[in-house]
Amino acid sequence: MANEMDEIINEFIIEAEEILEKLDPLFVQLEQKGHDIEIVNEIFRGMHTLKGAAGFLGFQSIVDVAHKAETILKKIREGEFTLTSKITDAILKATDTIRILISQIKAKEETTEDISPVLNLLDNVLIEALKKKEDFEQEEKLPPVKPEEEPKPTKPEEVVTQIPKEKEVSTLRVDVERIDKVMDLAGEIVLARNRLLNLAHKLEAKYTGDDHIEGLVETVSFLDRVTSDLQLAVMRMRMQPLQKVFGKFPRMVRDLAKTLGKDVDLEIYGEDTEVDKSVIEHIGDPLVHIIRNSIDHGVEFPEERISKGKPPKGKIIINAYQKGTQIVIDVSDDGKGIDIEAVKAKAITKGLITLEEAEKMSEDSIINLIFLPGFSTKDISTELSGRGVGMDVVKSNVAKLNGYVEIFTEKDKGTTFRISLPLTLAIIQAMMVQVGEEIYAIPQSMIEETLRVYTKEIKEVVGQRVLTVREKVLPVFILNEILGVSSNLDSEKKYILVASVGERRFCISVDAVLGQEEIVIKTINGINSEECGIMGATITGDGKVVLILDLAIISRKIYAIK
């Protein structure tokens, strides 16, 4: 019986968290649009559902807070008064309190949150709203918050409405650890499939025409197709829409802008874009830091914006989209932009670079200094300080996801932070290349095309090797020089990989291109990816351990040197 009750409570917690996730953005929408009966009804239904489910399980504190908030929403719904910023603040405070109460239930804490302050706050805003309506002053001097209004004992049929039967039939909640285990096993099957394909091709070449070998090749080919389908199915099980992350930003932008005395609109596009579960878990913090700093440091105060000929209300745009095999998230503001000279001066003052080094650095390299821990162009530290505070978190968290961050900025026009992430973090398509005696894997998503050119076609301009590819002059970098690997190959022709990392396009010269292979990324403990540009290792079809290169990190290093 105890296990059954635990299961019911866990179900309630999950449902309650889903409802609360939806409420915050709905309140912000309602505040922006004014009275919208559909949004009011949706918020009211969510609060009523919370109250009913909590009442059934005996969580009286949640019932009391939800009931007070529901009373205000009911009066707004019936047109007795309109939603104001003060009322919105109070109801959002109520949802925050409910969130805390649910977290305490989840953690099985014996002590519970003191709800009297939020109950008083809700009572006060209701009384104040009613006083402003002369027609209701004689009829309602205090809000009727009586159990008789909505019976607290929840009827059995009400409980059924909380978890519809059809939803139970169409969906099944599975523990994340089980899905991860299936993903790991799928990865091992991919490795075994690669090994079998390699062996089957060797046997086919050696025993051409043998019936048994032909049967083996046919069976392995079928296994190849099934393995690819299995991998895709498991990946889809792990995919979740970015709405789960983006949903909290409207409330956050509203509160931060209000705290700072600024007026900021938030526009979100592409929240239906699906990404791997691990991306959902780790991308929230980087985006929070970027948005906080955009509001504090990027968007100007209304008076300053007007003096620059801008509208008084600032704008932040979050846009997520898929580009090839990568997910891209842009966070743009229309603020003052990053002052490159200020960044350079602060870096010199802090001793991060010398004056001579600063003169030689490109603008991109200077802007990327903001990713250094503790770097900020603000002299006074505040709770929401300059771009540098938290930017190191952005870079490190995105690097953990095998992604990279780019910054595009223009004075008085604004700044865009672009985060590029691989679609999946476990199994990827890779190009296998040889440098000297070593073999490396490079993610296919970063390679536009492969070429074989005559060595004489590679020219040198101001100390930089360049190659003209489709009428575009691109810099050329020799991979064995970057990796410090010796190469005895000195032929008339070179293998060239045309790489694309964000807005950067460049060429990488390798000794040989061995072909594409689907690989499983295995993390290597004890190495710093940012230092060596290695994102992990894999086992190839012939059983060798091969390092996977991260061209995003390598490109930052070579461009910084340049």
Active-site positions read 48, 70, 293
User: Rounded to whole angstroms, how far apart are CA atoms 520 and 537?
Assistant: 8
At position 443, the amino acid (one-letter code) is P
- Helix H or strand E encompassing 414: strand 414-422
Tokens of 250: 């409207």
Alpha carbons within 13 angstroms on the beta-carbon side of residue 518 total 21
Tokens of 536: 């992990």
Q: Phi-psi bin for 374: left (phi > 0), alpha (psi -120 to 50), beta?
A: left
Q: Phi-psi bin for 536: left (phi > 0), alpha (psi -120 to 50), beta?
A: left
CB of 72 closer than 8 Å to CB of 125: yes
Residue 423 CB contacts under 8 Å (≥ 6 apart), including other chains: 275, 276, 322, 325, 326, 327, 445
240 DSSP β-pair partners: 275
What pairing do the DSSP bridges indicate for beta strands 504-510 and 493-501?
Answer: antiparallel
Number of neighbouring beta carbons within 10 Å of residue 36: 14
Q: Phi-psi bin for 318: left (phi > 0), alpha (psi -120 to 50), beta?
A: beta
Tokens of 167: 């939803």
At position 240, the amino acid (one-letter code) is Q
Q: What is the DSSP string of 159-227?
A: HHHHS-HHHHHH-----HHHHHHHHHHHHHHHHHHHHHHHHHHHHHHHSTT-HHHHHHHHHHHHHHHHH
User: Rounded to whole angstroms, how far apart are CA atoms 422 and 328?
Assistant: 9
User: Rounded to whole angstroms, how far apart are CA atoms 197 and 441?
Assistant: 18
Tokens of 18: 């889903």
Residue 167 CB contacts under 8 Å (≥ 6 apart), including other chains: none
CA angle 129, 134, 135 (to 5 degrees): 105
User: Rounded to whole angstroms, how far apart are CA atoms 281 and 366?
Assistant: 30
CB of 257 closer than 8 Å to CB of 263: yes
User: Rounded to whole angstroms, how far apart are CA atoms 189 and 427?
Assistant: 11
User: Rounded to whole angstroms, how far apart are CA atoms 280 and 199?
Assistant: 38
> Residue 147 class from Cβ within 10 Å (0-12 exposed, 13-18 middle, 19+ buried)?
exposed
> Residue 562 class from Cβ within 10 Å (0-12 exposed, 13-18 middle, 19+ buried)?
middle
